[in-house]
Amino acid sequence: MKSALLFIPVVLLFGCSLKYGTTYQDESNVPEFIFTDATFTKYEDDAKKLNLSASVLEQYSEGNSMYAKDVSFQLLKKDGTIETEGSCGLLAANSDEEQYTLFDGITIKNQEEDLLVSADTLHWNGKSEQLTSSRNDMVSIKKGKTELHGSGFSASAVSKKFSFTGVITGNFSDEGAEESVEEPKKNTSETEGLVEDEDIE
């Protein structure tokens, strides 16, 4: 697979912090490059794959790590149409490991599946194509008439299914039948039956 990058010589980041003006610094926690109002484009197989913009983008001396603030992004199909788009307050990633962590006011919209994910912290593993939250972080999912809020979120881009392992509230709609979900007991078979391995197709 041929890949080309424009504007920034690495993909995304996993560094120390945008808050680097503290009393003690070493080379590893001071950015090597700082860009403001940055625009980043990634190409794969001569086709545009990713558009990303940020108000501040920091690249660190390790070469595979950086941070970005006030981020908006678009993942594109081969025909140039938008597959997924989103935004977050802070993005951290490691391009070598394909590990990406999003923070603060996250929204991710998959156009094809008509699926909207909202959260304050999410982690994307590019190798396994898994989007996850921590056990206690709350995530909201909206797809058609189904709207769920819960913790312990996990979604697979491979199987196109998602699940919650914690407490869930919301409304679940299946083929015209709508059901209200109100604070089921945590980790019971009833809870898992409602949302475990929910198909998002």
What is the residue-wise DSSP string for 142-180? EETTEEEEEESEEEETTTTEEEE-S-EEEEEEETTEEEE
Cα–Cα distance for residue pair 122/151, rounded to 1 Å: 11
Enclosing H/E stretch for 14: none
Q: Are strands 47-59 and 168-174 parallel, antiparallel or unpaired?
A: unpaired
pTM (2 decimals)? 0.72
Residue 181 one-letter amino acid = V
Handedness of CA 192, 193, 195, 198 (dihedral sign): positive
pLDDT tens per residue across all 201 residues of the chain: 443 333 333 333 333 455 444 444 556 678 888 999 999 888 888 889 889 999 999 988 765 788 999 999 999 988 889 999 999 999 998 877 888 999 999 999 998 888 999 999 999 998 999 999 999 999 999 988 889 999 999 999 889 888 999 889 998 776 555 555 555 444 433 333 334 455 554
Give residues with Cβ within 8 angstroms of 11, minimum separation 6.
5, 42, 93, 95
Taking residue 71's Cβ as centre, other Cβ atoms within 10 Å add up to: 25
Quote the DSSP letter at residue 186: T
